[in-house]
Amino acid sequence: MRPTTVIVDYGTGNLNSIRRTLDRVGATAVASCDAVEISHAEKIILPGVGHFGNAMLRLVELGLLDALNDVVLSKGRPVLGICLGMELMAKSSEEGNAIGLGWIDARAVKIKVPDDSRYKVPHMGWNQVLGKKASALTAGIDESSEFYFAHSYYLELNEASDLLTETTYAGEFPSAIEKDNIFGVQFHPEKSHDAGARLLKNFVDM
């Protein structure tokens, strides 16, 4: 049996869809907001849909910051941030001028479009991702695969080496990141059919 993956339940995110996809690929997964359970997890998924500032406040209210920092930074366990969960890994965000977890040298900034008759914010729909380096997270996924996006912000990276994949929508933005044991995807793998399921399987198999 694969080690348990904990989906962090802090009141925001599509936990049931993520858990169903993990079940489909044979992973042992639980959703939890218990700091002890999170600190003992073999792998962590940080989901999220909504407001950056409110999400960080909720993590503080639940007393999860120390547990997350312990399991990710001290123990070096793999963590996958999905959409807002990836943005929370940054140092800060324009959304609410809030401070993030600080795991990635980056800032979450709002998508700016040159032509609002052609491009809409939030960016919603299917787009390809362009791989910028080899990774166990994206292994075996065809380069022509598309993933489902639903977001208004993206990470402005200060370290080019953290960029895993890039997507074009009114300009290029990081659609996935990787730094040591820290992974993030701006898209929703749980809504991205076979390609998304493969990505989640790759993560739990690390």
Active site includes 95?
no
Catalytic residue status for 143: no
**Cα 143-148-152 angle, rounded to 5 deg:** 120
From the list 143, 166, 190, 193, the catalytic residue is 190
Beta carbons of 131 and 117 less than 8 angstroms apart: no
Rounded to an integer, what distance in angstroms lies between the CA atom of residue 23 and that of residue 178? 24
Q: Which residue among the candidates 87, 166, 188, 193 is catalytic per the annotation?
A: 188
Q: Does the annotation count 190 as an active-site position?
A: yes
Catalytic, out of 33, 51, 83, 156:
83
3-state secondary structure the chain: CCCCEEEECCCCCCHHHHHHHHHHCCCCEEEECCHHHHHCCCEEEECCCCCHHHHHHHHHHCCCHHHHHHHHHHCCCCEEEECHHHHCCCCEECHHHEECCCCCCEEEEECCCCCCCCCCCCEEEEEECEECCCCCCCCCCCCCCEEEEEECEEEEECCHHHEEEEEECCCEEEEEEEECCEEEECCEHHHCHHHHHHHHHHHHCC
Residue 131 is encoded by which pair of tokens?
A: 């791989």
Catalytic residues: 83, 188, 190
